[in-house]
Copies of this chain bind each other. A is one copy, B any other.
Amino acid sequence: MGRPLLPLISVEALTTAALELVDESGDFSFPKLAKKIGVSQSSIYNHVSGRDEILELLRHRIITEEPYPPVDHSEWEGALRVLIRAYRDAFARHPRLAPLLVLQSITDPAVIGLYEDLALALESAGFSGRDVVAAISTIDSFALGAALDLAAPEVVWDPPAEGYPTLKRALGNAGPSEERGGHAFDFGLDVVIGGLRAKLGGQETRA
């Protein structure tokens, strides 16, 4: 075929197609991506370096497709709530993407910017030294876990027929899975914020 008059592939179109595949099927592959755009697999490598770059493009896309409002750093609790919720909502819109990003280094500037805002909020709250990274890790674990929960199979815990009465009762009280995820996130967000506040209370004047 040779080079076409107008490019058939763009990074934008590639990202859009890959995200649609992930939303539909939980994954994407070069054969399916190529078929969706109407080109051959190998042509894709003229625009991106490989699978990992597409994954990082997807991370950028979901974070930036719905920008979070400017954070007010004079109120650290509110700031943290906005940031954590923005992160979680990005994955809530595309739950099946979360498992694919777990192993990747985060390099996208827009996403790094979100972590910069997190670090600022934590410093303004009063954390310093290595506690800042520890707090970021805690928040990150919680947000990522909540995102993974949205992608998890409908039954995360599948106890055997006999025994485990307390867990089964708790699961019975949980309600439908969508509502369960929402409530669990709100609950967990309160726990994390409250726990951070308690940490500050206990060590107010420490350097």
Chain A interfacial positions (CB closer than 8 Å to B)? 99, 102-107, 109, 112-113, 115-116, 118-120, 122-123, 129-138, 140-142, 144-146, 148-149, 151-153, 155-160, 163-164, 166-167, 169-171, 173-175, 180, 183-184, 186-188, 190-199
Across the A-B interface, the 9 shortest Cβ-Cβ residue pairs: A141-B145, A195-B195, A191-B195, A138-B188, A134-B187, A194-B198, A137-B184, A132-B170, A133-B174
**Contact (A157, B195) CB under 8 Å given A146-B141, A174-B133:** no
Q: A136 — which chain B residues lie within 8 A by C-beta?
A: 170
Contact of B191 with A199 in the complex, beta carbons under 8 Å = yes
Q: A122 — which chain B residues lie within 8 A by C-beta?
A: 170
Q: How many Å from the CB of A195 to the closest CB on chain B?
A: 3
Q: A106 — which chain B residues lie within 8 A by C-beta?
A: 156-158
In the complex this chain forms, how many copies of it are found?
Answer: 2
Contact of B141 with A173 in the complex, beta carbons under 8 Å = no
Q: How many Å from the CB of A186 to the closest CB on chain B?
A: 8
When chains A and B are docked, how far (Å) is the Cα of A167 from the Cα of B83?
A: 15
Q: A105 — which chain B residues lie within 8 A by C-beta?
A: 153, 155-158
Contact of A137 with B99 in the complex, beta carbons under 8 Å = no
Contact of A184 with B123 in the complex, beta carbons under 8 Å = no
Q: A193 — which chain B residues lie within 8 A by C-beta?
A: 195
Contact of A158 with B113 in the complex, beta carbons under 8 Å = no
Contact of A199 with B194 in the complex, beta carbons under 8 Å = yes
Closest to A128 in B: B173
When chains A and B are docked, how far (Å) is the Cα of A147 from the Cα of B137?
A: 11
Q: A163 — which chain B residues lie within 8 A by C-beta?
A: 116
Q: A130 — which chain B residues lie within 8 A by C-beta?
A: 173-175, 180, 183
Contact of A102 with B103 in the complex, beta carbons under 8 Å = no
Q: How many Å from the CB of A165 to the closest CB on chain B?
A: 8
Contact of B187 with A138 in the complex, beta carbons under 8 Å = yes
